[in-house]
Amino acid sequence: MGDGDVNSNLLIARSTGDAQLDQAVGQWLSWDKNPKTKEQIENLVRHGMNKELRDRLCCRLTFGTAGLRSAMGAGFCYINDLTVIQSTQGMYKYLERCFSDFRQRGFVVGYDTRGQVTSSCSSKRLAKLTAAVLLAKGVPVYLFSKYVPTPFVPYAVRQLKAAAGVMITASHNRKEDNGYKVYWENGAQITSPHDKEILKCIEECVEPWNGSWNENLVDTSPLTHDPLEEISKSYMEDLKTICYH
């Protein structure tokens, strides 16, 4: 056990006098493997910032306009490695329920340039963790090898006949934000009741599974496919059939 683990265990054992908050702090410090976001919570615990801790840890991300969006940072209500892993585990559970052939059809993942230099929660890293969760469960993943325009993901979902897809993007939101935008098998953004059912599934499997943190699976699993060349070519060819200028 390293010094970091010892320090985290001491902080987990520290009581705030708030049972719900103590549980949330314990879960975060036990589950988060990103040293930067874990340190954010550790510092708040050390300084007794209980209101800030409650704001960050005692509520969860919810769907809005077919996606999860928030600032990048530590906490269950923010976009970060852990919440993206939890969201993808919920996606897996729901898609497995909806599609008997989910493992044959696969899942599409794309990302934008958000946070590439300054953030520990960059879109590229979050996309790789999204893929890792599904690869660890034996699901083929079509992960774009570089950042792509958002429409490439829903187009790829239809073109590749995947069950669903996710684009890691905050769209036009402020630079501090990021998002997890979900597309169904028809290439459209998810609507109710899918969003509500996915949230239920996320709540049912919040503890990271074995392999969920293993982003190296993206490079080693035979189930990883890069659709960039195929989709880029096909997308531009299809555009020619509908554009007249």
Higher pLDDT pick, 144 / 3: 144
Q: What are phi and psi of 68, to 5 degrees?
A: -105, 125
Give the pLDDT score at 244.
62
Residue 135's identity, in one-letter code, is L
Domain with CATH 3.40.120.10 in the chain: 60-240
The DSSP result for 198-227, as a single string, is HHHHHHHT-SPPTTTT-TTHHHH-TTEE--
Return the residue matching tokens 């609507």: 191
Q: What is the token pair recorded at 182?
A: 């979900």
pLDDT of 67 > 60? The answer is yes
Classify strands 164-168 and 177-183 as parallel, antiparallel or unpaired.
antiparallel
Q: Report the catalytic residues.
A: 171
Which sign, positive or negative, has the C-alpha torsion 25, 27, 29, 34?
negative
Give the pLDDT score at 18.
85
pTM of structure: 0.91
Higher pLDDT pick, 6 / 99: 99
Would you say domain 60-240 falls under CATH 3.40.120.10?
yes
* Alpha-carbon separation of residue 6 from 1, 2, 12, 89, 171 (angstroms): 7, 6, 10, 28, 40
Residue 150's identity, in one-letter code, is T
pLDDT bin (cut points 50, 70, 90) of residue 140 is very high
Give the pLDDT score at 121.
75
Q: What average pLDDT does range 18-22 have in this prediction? A: 92
